Amino acid sequence: MNKLDEADVRIAVRALLGDPDALPGAWTTAGVDWRVVSDVTDALVRVQGRAWTRGRDAAWSMVVKTARPDAHDPVDPSWEREWRAYTSGLLRPTAHVRPARLLHVTRPSADRVLLWLEDVPDPTPEVWPPSRHVLTARHLGEWGAARRLRGEAPAWSWRVWMDGLCAPPGEDDVSRADCVWRAPLVREVLGNEARALLNAVAGAGERWERRLRALPPTLVHLDPVRSNVRAVSDRETVLLDWQALGVGPPGADPAMATVLNVCRFHADPDGAGDLARESVEAYLAGIAETGVPLDGDDVRFAFAALTALRTAVILRAVLGRLSASEPDLRLWSTWGEKRDWSGEEALRRWGPGMVTLLRLGVEGAS
């Protein structure tokens, strides 16, 4: 990232401190160590310093996120989505949920946008207990109920994200091959049930898609995994990274959160079933607190169908790694680091947890 301009730092610090006369002194920059970064994120930098504000010296910290076009599709304008979401007025806070504050925006060139964002502290550990995941689901229900669309969806929102989930597997889908399911590691961690469930998802996808698209549309975050959530307190949840903001049915966000948190071990895969059941009920409780009338059966269906569809996509994507003569366990080694698990231990816990989510999704949507 290029050197930050002193005038821009001053504007952002004054917005952060709520003092139009604040005077920042020297500052430092350091790259943010992030486990998963979007293809359109060019840089993520923490900027820290001190400022003279209202007669006292105060520390400050912010994060500057640089967005750029996707190198694989440079003409796709979706790389601007987070910037447009922040400046659209659609990310208004609710009683317990808000986005990280946008302090300043700069555009040094046509293909770069810098978002100057509040650096939100989180006193909780990277690995949450189930109760905090469930509380986040409740807060997502509150946020989602307040985001029902009354008119046309914004042109810049992600409106086609369900296409990839609901599309039938292609001819090159490795889950069709008998040899994949005979591979020792696949048999051990997934078993025959996974194959039957994947076939059930493939057979039901078109039917589920029709019902999902008929449900009331809402704005959905679509990536509320633990790393994009700041648990400031039991009464305040801050959501980060709005690059995937899209349009979908109520129930999409807790489904995505449950699958991704179990998949990446932010949640214990041994408790995947309980987490899924408690999360959807907490999400419904959050909706109920707002008084917005949404059909509980529709929400439960959307949660179940999207849980099954998202889990199926992940499982199909990794079958090739697991069935190879020399299985590649690097993904599970990386995800398991946060729990001090080796790749082998992580995978043996991961498989049953993901199959549990797939089973519950299929049963709940049928």
Residue 191 and residue 185 in contact, taking contact as beta carbons nearer than 8 Å: no
Share of the chain above pLDDT 90, in %: 89
For residue 325, pLDDT over 80 is answered with: yes
Query: For residue 225, what are the CA distances in angstroms to 11, 146, 304?
Result: 31, 20, 17
For residue 317, pLDDT over 90 is answered with: yes
Query: What are the start and end residues of each CATH 3.30.200 domain in the chain?
Result: 6-118
What the block records as the tokens of 322 is 């697991």
Residue 38 has a pLDDT of: 75
Residue 173 has a pLDDT of: 87
Share of the chain above pLDDT 70, in %: 98
List, in sequence order, every residue forming a beta bridge with 163; answer none if it has no partner.
none
What the block records as the tokens of 143 is 């946020």
Query: What are the start and end residues of each CATH 3.90.1200 domain in the chain?
Result: 130-365
For residue 2, pLDDT over 80 is answered with: no
Contacts 24+ apart (CB under 8 A), 317-326: 319/174, 319/175, 319/180, 319/186, 320/174, 320/180, 322/183, 322/185, 322/186, 322/189, 322/190, 322/347, 323/174, 323/179, 323/180, 323/183, 323/185, 323/186, 324/183
CB atoms within 10 A of CB 329: 17
Q: pLDDT tens digit string along 173-217? A: 888 899 999 999 999 999 999 999 999 999 999 999 999 999 999
Mean pLDDT of 286-310: 96
Residue 28 has a pLDDT of: 97
The better pLDDT of the pair 330, 35 is held by 330
Q: pLDDT tens digit string along 36-91? A: 567 899 899 999 999 999 999 999 999 999 999 998 898 999 999 999 999 999 99
Residue with tokens 């080796």: 342
Residue 40's Cβ-side half-sphere holds a number of Cα atoms within 13 Å equal to 24
In angstroms, rounded to a whole number, what is the distance separating the alpha carbons of residues 276 and 130?
A: 10
134: phi then psi, degrees, rounded to nearest 5:
-70, -40
Residue 33 has a pLDDT of: 79
What the block records as the tokens of 250 is 């109520």
Q: pLDDT tens digit string along 96-133? A: 999 999 999 999 999 999 999 999 999 999 999 999 99
DSSP 8-state class, residue 217? P
Q: Coil, strand, or helix at residue 347?
A: helix
Handedness of CA 310, 313, 317, 322 (dihedral sign): positive
What the block records as the tokens of 156 is 């810049």
Q: DSSP secondary structure string, 148-204? A: B-SSPPPTTSB--HHHHHHSPP-TT-GGG-HHHHHSHHHHHHTHHHHHHHHHHHHHH
Residue 214 has a pLDDT of: 96
What the block records as the tokens of 243 is 């690059």
Q: How confident is the model at residue 227 (pLDDT cuts 50, 70, 90)?
A: very high
Residue 167 has a pLDDT of: 85
The better pLDDT of the pair 187, 172 is held by 187
Q: Compute, in degrees rounded to 10, the torsion defined by CA atoms 140, 276, 36, 68.
A: -40
List, in sequence order, every residue forming a beta bridge with 214; answer none if it has no partner.
none
Residue 149 has a pLDDT of: 84
For residue 34, pLDDT over 80 is answered with: no
CA-wise closest residue to 101 among 38, 37, 18, 157: 18
Residue 170 has a pLDDT of: 81
For residue 156, pLDDT over 80 is answered with: yes
CA-wise closest residue to 148 among 276, 291, 349: 291
Q: pLDDT tens digit string along 229-247? A: 999 999 999 999 999 999 9
E strands within the chain? Answer: 23-31, 41-53, 56-67, 97-99, 102-109, 112-118, 218-220, 229-233, 236-239, 246-248
Residue 1 has a pLDDT of: 59
Domain 6-118 carries which CATH code?
3.30.200
Look at the domain 130-365 and name its fold. Aminoglycoside 3'-phosphotransferase; Chain: A, domain 2 (3.90.1200)
CA-wise closest residue to 345 among 177, 240, 195, 189: 189
E strands within 77-127? Answer: 97-99, 102-109, 112-118
Residue 152 has a pLDDT of: 84
